[in-house]
């Protein structure tokens, strides 16, 4: 059975078109920032959750083509912003950078994330290129070789302990993610991998992107490119922070960690932001099946995996204010832990409870 990805294309490319038009200023700037900053969030809050899953075994016509289109738009949009931002007044310039950064973090990043999980080497390299242009090349290694292996444990820089504020999490996530990704790639090469070290490639792509920005806009253009990269980087870490906050794997009686399961990711079932972000909020299923294409990702039931109390973009915004985030999430984390331990029997002797690991005072 073939299933079209028209809805994903519309939800990802409409804001892309608004951002591209916004590079010339005027009403398009405000439409782009309002759409990505308010309209999507507002509709998420009023529209019912979208629980349906794609048919089992379906093929998704055009799904990889959409990823490639988004990948091509990424450097084009960044170049247009670098060139045109100086022609706008300060308010329009700030709104343009904000809107473009939203699209890069909420659409281009999920697309690149999908690409680096593809077995097709051409698509995989396209994902590397996108992350390299965004000065986030090391995420290709740290996400696949560190996060997916150690998720929901103290060894994962992208898993936040309960009570840990985002700003404390951010520095460790960036520095440890870079370091552990580098160590994992180096160890892989010592065992069997050949050719150029990926971190050299990441640095080369990022350096080339910086030189293009410098050529297009001089020092100020380089600064705008760096701002876009920082905005995107912030959203990538916010997404990791929110989607794994306070969820931990149990240590079994033999000392091993339990396998990664649906209980180790927060999920969301919103239709609009979920489609725009290429089903990224269906995060549990991605960890269970990393090679499953985004249209096929399934949403676990509320009894199988925790649900965020807010749509993912709003939850990420809330996480920027740690006291407010903790106040909202505390009962949800506590309720899920109580339910999880009751279902899995972690209160039995010899099985470490999630309460006993990776918690900070709230």
Name residues whose C-beta falls within 8 Å of residue 270's C-beta, 6 or more positions apart in sequence. Answer: 44, 47, 49, 50, 281, 311, 312
Q: Which of 1-10, 66-75, 211-220 comes out lowest in average pLDDT?
A: 1-10
Q: Is the pLDDT of residue 52 over 90?
A: no
Specify whether the CB–CB gap between 245 and 266 falls below 8 A: yes
Name residues whose C-beta falls within 8 Å of residue 60's C-beta, 6 or more positions apart in sequence. Answer: 2, 3, 4, 5, 54, 293, 295, 296
Specify whether the CB–CB gap between 128 and 140 falls below 8 A: yes
348 pLDDT band (50/70/90 cuts)?
very low
- Average pLDDT of the residues in 300-317: 94
For residue 361, the model assigns a pLDDT of: 31
Taking residue 65's Cβ as centre, other Cβ atoms within 10 Å add up to: 11
Q: Print the SS3 string covering 180-244.
A: HHHHHHHHHHHHCCCCCCHHHHHHHHHHHHHHHHHHHHHHHHHHHHHHHHHHHHHHHHHHHHHHH
For residue 351, the model assigns a pLDDT of: 28
- Average pLDDT of the residues in 14-27: 96
Q: Is the pLDDT of residue 77 over 60?
A: yes
Q: Is the pLDDT of residue 270 over 70?
A: yes
- Average pLDDT of the residues in 148-175: 96
Q: Is the pLDDT of residue 316 over 70?
A: yes
For residue 342, the model assigns a pLDDT of: 55
d(CA 330, CA 335): 9
State CA 29 to chain mean position distance: 24
Q: Is the pLDDT of residue 27 over 60?
A: yes
For residue 350, the model assigns a pLDDT of: 30
For residue 10, the model assigns a pLDDT of: 96
pTM: 0.92
For residue 341, the model assigns a pLDDT of: 63
336 pLDDT band (50/70/90 cuts)?
confident
48 pLDDT band (50/70/90 cuts)?
confident
Q: Is the pLDDT of residue 261 over 70?
A: yes
For residue 1, the model assigns a pLDDT of: 58
Specify whether the CB–CB gap between 299 and 266 falls below 8 A: no
For residue 353, the model assigns a pLDDT of: 33
170 pLDDT band (50/70/90 cuts)?
very high
Q: Is the pLDDT of residue 266 over 50?
A: yes
d(CA 115, CA 185): 18
The residue with greater pLDDT, 337 or 78, is 78
For residue 337, the model assigns a pLDDT of: 79
Specify whether the CB–CB gap between 287 and 260 falls below 8 A: yes
- Domain segments of the chain as ranges: 2-356
Q: Token digits for 72?
A: 């091509």
> pLDDT tens digits, residue range 96-107?
999 999 999 999
Specify whether the CB–CB gap between 285 and 297 falls below 8 A: yes
195 pLDDT band (50/70/90 cuts)?
confident
- Average pLDDT of the residues in 89-102: 97
């Amino acid at each position: 059975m073939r299933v079209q990805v028209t809805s994903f294309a519309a939800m990802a490319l409409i804001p892309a078109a608004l951002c591209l038009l916004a590079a010339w200023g005027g009403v398009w700037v405000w439409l782009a920032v309002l759409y990505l900053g308010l309209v999507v969030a507002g509709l998420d809050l009023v529209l019912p959750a979208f629980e349906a899953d794609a048919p089992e075994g379906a093929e998704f016509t055009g799904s990889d083509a959409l990823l490639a289109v988004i990948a091509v738009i990424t450097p084009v949009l960044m170049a247009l912003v670098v060139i045109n931002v100086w022609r706008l007044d300060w308010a329009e310039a700030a709104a343009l950078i904000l809107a473009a950064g939203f699209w890069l973090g909420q659409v281009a990043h999920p697309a690149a994330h999908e690409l680096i999980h593809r077995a097709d080497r051409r698509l995989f390299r396209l994902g590397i290129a996108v992350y390299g242009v965004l000065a986030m090349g090391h995420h290709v290694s740290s996400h696949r070789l560190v996060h997916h292996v150690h998720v929901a444990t103290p060894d994962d820089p992208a898993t936040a302990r309960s009570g840990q504020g985002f700003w404390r999490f951010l520095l460790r996530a960036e520095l440890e993610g870079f370091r552990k990704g580098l160590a994992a790639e180096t160890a892989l090469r010592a065992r069997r991998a050949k050719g150029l070290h990926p971190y050299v490639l990441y640095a080369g792509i990022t350096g080339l992107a910086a030189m293009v920005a410098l050529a297009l806009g001089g020092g100020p253009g380089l600064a705008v490119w760096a701002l876009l990269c920082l905005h995107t980087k912030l959203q990538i870490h916010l997404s990791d922070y929110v989607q794994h906050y306070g969820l931990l794997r149990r240590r079994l009686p033999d000392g091993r960690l339990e396998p990664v399961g649906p209980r180790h990711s927060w999920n969301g079932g919103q239709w609009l932001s979920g489609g725009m972000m290429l089903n990224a909020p269906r995060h549990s299923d991605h960890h269970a099946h990393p090679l499953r294409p985004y249209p096929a990702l399934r949403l676990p039931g509320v009894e199988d995996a925790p649900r965020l109390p807010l749509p993912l973009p709003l939850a990420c915004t809330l996480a920027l204010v740690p006291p407010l985030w903790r106040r909202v999430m505390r009962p949800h984390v506590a309720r899920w832990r109580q339910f999880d331990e009751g279902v899995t029997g972690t209160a039995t002797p010899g099985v470490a409870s999630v309460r006993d690991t990776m918690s900070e005072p709230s």
